[in-house]
């Protein structure tokens, strides 16, 4: 009796349902992203200016009377006046790069997302047959259970009757 009840319960819980196949669709939209970035801006090399007033003295040597040096932030000026009267000037320039914030940039890209839509459809012949067969098998099992219970009840009832055998 217990296996029959378990079988009936299993049949009720696992009845044939029509399959639903949902077609997959794609949905795309444009997504904007706000980006801030730093851009290298090279600083042009600076200059330096040197003015010197050189004169010959009575002994025939060169003498410097006045010297004015003007340099900017990234330039350095070095000079050397040797005993022979040669003036060597060396300019040292550091190349610098400044990082400036660029304007806002909007990057647009397509975001593709799958959208599942459920659609009703007509079942095929095979699916209709399986569904009908499952429903028929269910009712056959229910009928067999009712018949078995009725037969058992009648058998128990006949045993209790004091009719002779």
Which is higher by pLDDT, 130 or 14? 130
63: its two tokens: 């003498």
Confidence bin at 135 (pLDDT 50/70/90): very high
Which is higher by pLDDT, 8 or 40? 40
* Range in 7-16, 21-30, 136-145 with the lowest mean pLDDT: 21-30
Distance in angstroms (rounded) separating the CA atoms of residues 31 and 15: 46
- pLDDT tens column, 44-62: 777 777 788 888 888 888 7
Q: Are β-strands 96-101 and 38-43 bridged in parallel, bridged antiparallel, or unpaired?
A: antiparallel
Beta bridge partners of 39: 100
Which is higher by pLDDT, 142 or 14? 142
6 Cβ contact list (under 8 Å, min separation 6): none
Residues 54, 67 contacting (CB under 8 angstroms) = no
Report percent pLDDT > 90 for the chain.
16
Distance in angstroms (rounded) separating the CA atoms of residues 57 and 53: 12
- pLDDT tens column, 60-112: 887 778 878 777 777 777 777 777 767 777 777 777 777 777 766 565 666 66
CA angle at residue 160 from 154 to 163, to 5 degrees? 100
pTM for the model: 0.29
Per DSSP, 85 falls in state S
């Amino acid at each position: 009796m217990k296996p029959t009840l378990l079988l009936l319960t299993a049949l009720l819980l696992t009845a044939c349902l029509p399959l639903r196949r949902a077609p997959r669709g794609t949905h795309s939209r444009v997504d904007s992203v706000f980006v801030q970035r730093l851009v290298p801006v090279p600083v042009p090399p600076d200059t330096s200016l040197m003015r010197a007033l050189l004169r010959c003295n009575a002994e025939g040597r060169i003498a410097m009377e006045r010297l004015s040096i003007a340099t900017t932030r990234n330039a350095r000026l070095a000079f050397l006046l040797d005993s022979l009267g040669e003036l060597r000037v060396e300019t040292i320039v550091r190349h610098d790069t400044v990082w400036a914030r660029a304007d806002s940039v909007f990057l647009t890209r397509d975001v593709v997302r799958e959208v599942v839509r459920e659609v009703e459809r007509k079942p095929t012949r095979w699916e209709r047959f399986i569904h009908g067969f499952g429903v028929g098998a269910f009712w056959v099992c229910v009928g067999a259970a009712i018949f078995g219970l009725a037969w058992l009840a009648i058998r128990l009832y006949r045993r209790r009757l004091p009719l002779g055998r």
